[in-house]
Structure formats: C-alpha cells, structure tokens
Amino acid sequence: MASRYDAIVGGGSVAGLTFASEAAKRGLNVLLLEEHEEFGEPEKCDGLVSLRGLRMYGYGPIGKSIQALVNKGVIHSPMGSSLTVNATALEVVVLDRSMYDKQIAQRAYERGANLRAGERVKHVVTEKDGVKVEGKEVYEGRYFVDATGPASSPREGIIPAAKYEIEGEWVEEGKVEVFLNQEKYPGFFAWVIPYGGTKAKVGASGFGINAFKALDEFLAGRRHKIIRKIAAPIYVGGPSERFVEGRTIFAGESAGQVKPTTAGGIMSSIAGSVIAARWVAEAIRSDDPALLTNYQRDWTSRFGREMQSMKRLRGVFEKLNNKELDSIVATLSTPKLLSKLSSTDFDFHATALLSSLGIVGVMKLARVVASAEAKQLLRGFS
Ligand SMILES: Cc1cc2nc3c(=O)[nH]c(=O)nc-3n(C[C@H](O)[C@H](O)[C@H](O)COP(=O)(O)OP(=O)(O)OC[C@H]3O[C@@H](n4cnc5c(N)ncnc54)[C@H](O)[C@@H]3O)c2cc1C
C-alpha cells in the first residue's frame, strides 16, 4: 500500500476536479480517479452557465473556454407563441466544457492533487477509520468523495436526453431557445444553444420518450449538418437527502446538486465541492468527522430554498397540458414581467420568477390553468 490519502475522489468532472483542487489548496493529500482516458471527455454538457455564479466560487472560466455569450432567452409554447427575456445583463455564457474541465484539472494538479485518468473506481469498502478504494490497485484513505455523477444520483428524476452539435443557417448567435411540448417532450423540452457562428448544441429530453427520435423530428424542418451526437441522462430530482454517509461524501450530481427545472448543475456542483472540501479539511484537522454535517447545512442554506421552489415549479409543469402551457406563456409575456426577469439571477430563476410575479401574478397563472392539481400547487406559492 503506497500511501494513505486524506481523500480519494471517484469521478473527474466539475465536481470531482473542483473538490480535488480545493482539498489540495487546503493542504490535503488527495487522489482522484476518472474512468475516462481524458478529463473533460466525452463532453456531454451544453455548458450554459452564469459567469457570476462561477466567479463567486473562484472558478471563472479562462480564455477560449467561453465559446459564446448569451443575449436572449426565448421560450416557445407548443402552439408557437413565445416570450423573450433579454439576457444581456445576466452574464450567461456557453462553455466549452471539455476545455473548462481541463482548466480545473490543471489547477488541481498545480496545487498538488494526484489525478489519474483512465482508472475506474470498482469498489469502495468503508472501515472504522477510513476507506479502501479499488481502482487499478487498492488505495487507502480517510474519506471517499463520490463525484461519479448521474450513476450515483437518486434514481428517481433521471430522464433520457439526446444532444447533437450541429451547424445550421437558422441558428441565431446569442439566442438560447427552449421549446415546450408535453406530447413531444413530456416533463422537459427541446433546446437550442448557439455556441459560435451558425453552430449550436441542440437537444431533446422527456420522460418515457426516445430522445433521439424526438430530436430528429425537431430538426427535420431545420436544415443542418451534424457535427456529433451524444446520449446522456439528465437529472431533475432535486438534492439528495444525505450528502454524507459514513466516510463517503457525495458531491455534484451524485448529491443531486442540480436544478430540477433545467437540469443545469455546473455552478451548484462546483459550490458543493468547494463547501465539501472546506469541511473535509476541517474534519481532518480537528479529527472530528461530525463536522461534515456542516457541508450539507452550508450548501442548503445557499441553494435549499431555490431547489425547493424549482422542484415545486417542476411539479406544476408536469401537470400541464399543451393548451395550458400556451396560456401560461401568454400570461407571462408582459413587458413588466419580462423586464424584471432581465435583471435577475440566472442561477436562482425560480425565486426570480416567483418574486417578479408576486402573489397577484401567481394567482393569475392559477386562473389560466384548468388542472385542479396544478391550480392547487400554484396557490401554494401565494
Ligand atoms: C445533455 C446535458 C446537457 C447539460 N447542460 C448543462 C448546461 O447547459 N448547464 C449546466 O449547468 N449543466 C448542464 N448539464 C448538467 C451538468 O453537466 C452536470 O450537472 C455537471 O457536469 C455535474 O458534474 P459532476 O461532476 O457532478 O458529474 P458528471 O459531469 O456527470 O461527471 C461524473 C464523472 O464521473 C466519472 N465516473 C463515473 N463513474 C466512475 C467510476 N466508477 N470511477 C471513476 N470515474 C467515474 C464520469 O466519467 C464523469 O467524468 C447538462 C447535462 C447533460 C447530460
């Protein structure tokens, strides 16, 4: 047995790499194992994120890892009406996730973390004072950090998704689009995220659908050339109940640190890892594993309320049919509301929407939906 690590991380995407970087910064001896041969690959994520959020945790992207700026977000109703939010003040960008992940890996490496790509965590055994993690060999550590992503997310809330990178003359730079349709994409939507010139990341997801078929149908009327195709599940089930189990700490998507509305998880996963590393370091310094409970407390105090609101909004959304979605889009499309939304926080969009609507606005939405359940859920917000 070569050495005993303070923390052994399984998974080398944003959450795992950020944890390794932060733990190494705090002087911990950390080992990270990533099953793929290259950090950042295969790139599944669209990289739509707010710069503000990333900078807050010290992980703002550098140079060319920003592929594009977003200046508006358009939501299309099933019947084709739409609402447009001016996003120029929201500092939303599209990241080259592969490059961004490599930047975090580089930083973790420079801080002294041991990073190993091409090594899968096969098995973890928890003992009284530590863990044994089996990769290509067996490593000993005090704690195991599970950052293996959706594979370890709570199973409920995982939806199949298909994503293509394409080129098409109809792609409009800076304009992110969401297409709602409960028959085609039940419980989710199709999306277009431009990332430079006429290139876009397009995707479709929904409960119980063949996501590739849905995406092909979406693209059928839009001339395009496919650059690459990716299949990846998204997670919308909300934070898990426990972020720490014995000597295992869950970070990022494996802790469900993902928005239940859009499945965006870059910023909240980075935040999770920054907070987790802080408390793992404290637990080791004080020789007191009980301090780890502060990780969930701190993350929840920042994101708990928003995640709960997003989950409740998802609950309403899942109850709506296409006709009701049309009415909702029409009701939300007032200059006053759109103007308020254009100066809110992208990472806290549920809170932003609810506070911009106010009680009167929420009750107005409750009036336009027919479903008794959705009405009831909406009234619960007032
Ligand atoms: C199609 C799609 C589009 C998305 N778009 C956005 C977006 O635009 N904006 C946004 O904020 N979020 C987006 N997300 C979500 C975002 O990608 C995730 O929330 C974020 O990457 C979570 O990071 P993570 O490190 O927790 O997990 P992941 O990124 O899932 O990484 C887990 C890592 O663990 C590795 N691994 C798994 N098992 C093992 C093992 N046994 N041993 C070693 N390594 C292992 C995997 O190879 C992987 O590298 C998207 C997700 C998908 C699927």
Quick: pLDDT tens for 144-174: 999 999 877 777 889 999 999 999 999 999 9
Q: How would DSSP label each residue in 138-196?
A: EEEEEEEEE--GGGGS-STTEE-EEEEEEE-TT--TTEEEEEE-TTTSTTSEEEEEEEE
pLDDT score of 1: 45
Alpha-carbon distances, residue 362 vs 200, 305, 306 (angstroms): 34, 18, 17
- Ligand 1 atom closest to 161 (CA): 1
Kindly state the average pLDDT of the residues 290-299: 97
Q: Judge whether 104 and 277 are in contact, CB under 8 Å.
A: no
Q: Rounded to 5 degrees, what angle do the CA atoms 132, 239, 118 make?
A: 40
Q: What is the pLDDT of residues 183-212, one digit of tens each?
A: 999 999 999 999 999 999 999 999 999 999
Q: Hey, which residues does 167 pair with through a beta bridge?
A: 199, 225
CATH number of 4-63+95-155+237-304: 3.50.50.60
| Distance of CA 14 from the midpoint of ligand 1 (Å) | 7
Q: Which CATH superfamily is domain 158-235 in?
A: D-Amino Acid Oxidase, subunit A, domain 2 (3.30.9.10)
Ligand 1 mutation pick, 148, 165, 177, max ligand atoms within 8 A of CB: 148
Instruction: Report DSSP state, residue 89.
Output: G
Cβ–ligand 1 contact at 91 (below 6 Å): no
Q: What is the mean pLDDT of the chain?
A: 94
| Distance of CA 109 from the midpoint of ligand 1 (Å) | 20
Q: What pTM value is reported for the model?
A: 0.96
Domain boundaries, given as residue ranges, for the chain: 4-63+95-155+237-304, 158-235, 306-379
